[in-house]
Structure 1
């Protein structure tokens, strides 16, 4: 934390995937885990859950870091109206992939950024059509990737791309967990990224 004095941007996440994505913008930042309850509320839609959690992460970290701009993000996988989170294990991941096999799935990526005064938030939705997945192909994928810390057990930046027929999104980075196009819009509005 000693280098915080020269850094004004904090990523409210412990995700290595989000850190890698944010580093693409070449803006100095540090990461702080928000350590909040990420369970969905009763009767909450996937969009509502993702947006609420992204905002809560940003604001939670902002409270103990005044003067900094905080980025919160969350991603929920939704299939047939059912929320699919991180599997946490091989067995759960296999069930998730069996569920989404051959179906259209939505990955809802929410982002929220706050400087303590202003908060900007948005959702970017990515539609994926999954191939029909055999148990053999699922087992092979899980043994190679061990994607137990990602929504829906799908790592699109790696072998997960072989599981899909197509991906539709306004932002190709949204599926990876941090929509950089929308984030850039927000960073420009908050004068973190100069435009002149």
Structure 2
């Protein structure tokens, strides 16, 4: 069976490569801005985007297994997006410092056998940090392409005092523990 990752994310590609299963990454064709601007709760946004990514690819490859994922940061009901610049990253970190937020990673998998989707919700408690430490961090990791302005797989781990999650890889962008179970159930040999 052909395996397709409906994503252009280098983080998701690197995570899926860990499983040792050959796959193709294809850019999904969905209007993320329309979903994000609809005023929906963060969890619903993450779910819809993961499913739309899969739909946009599986229509072209109906006999493949297609994986889609999206990640949304939920700060007390408010969705925070990728900051896009170093200055915006520092501002986002200022909002998150000393507070707990939820990082929602939604996944959808379509196959000829049907659909499965799920979410991993990680509770992230960030330390209180001085602004100069935030600036040093942003300069070191360049996290402006990450929801929350941090890369846990790099120096971003030092920003936190507590993390509660069922799967650390979900924080990076693709929860491999559950995905491995799903793919094994579909007949992929892992490892």
For normalisation by structure 2, the TM-score amounts to 0.94
User: Is it true that 1:70 corresponds to 2:66 in the alignment?
Assistant: yes
Unpaired runs of at least 5, structure 1? 1-6
Instruction: Report the secondary structure of 1:74's partner residue.
Output: strand
**Corresponding residue for residue 163 of structure 1:** 159
SS in 1 for 2:163: strand
Q: CA RMSD in A?
A: 1.6
In structure 2, the residue matched to 1:22 is 16
Task: Describe the SS at the equivalent of 1:157.
Answer: coil
Using the TM superposition, give the Cα deviation of residue 192 of structure 1 relative to its aligned residue in structure 2, in angstroms: 2.5
Name the structure 2 match of 1:4: none
Residue 41 of structure 1 deviates from its aligned partner by 4.3
User: Offset of 1:47 from its aligned partner?
Assistant: 0.8
**Structure 1 residue ranges (4+ consecutive) displaced by more than 3 angstroms after TM superposition:** none
Answering whether residue 124 of structure 2 is matched by residue 128 of structure 1, we say yes
Q: 3-state SS of the aligned residue for 1:35?
A: coil
Per the TM alignment, residue 68 of structure 1 is displaced from its structure 2 partner at its CA by 1.0
Alpha-carbon shift at residue 185 of structure 1 (Å): 2.0
Quick one: which of 4, 26, 30 aligns to 1:10?
A: 4
Residue 29 of structure 1 and its aligned partner are, at CA, apart by: 0.5
Q: TM-score, normalised by structure 1?
A: 0.91
Checking the alignment, whether the CA contact within 8 Å between 1:74 and 1:109 is kept in structure 2 is yes
Q: Find the aligned partners of 1:109 and 1:101 in 2 and give their Cα distance.
A: 21
Distance 2:31 2:142 in 1: 23
Aligned to 1:83: 79
Equivalent residue number for residue 51 of structure 2: 55
Can you give the 5+ residue segments of structure 2 that lack an aligned partner in the other structure? none
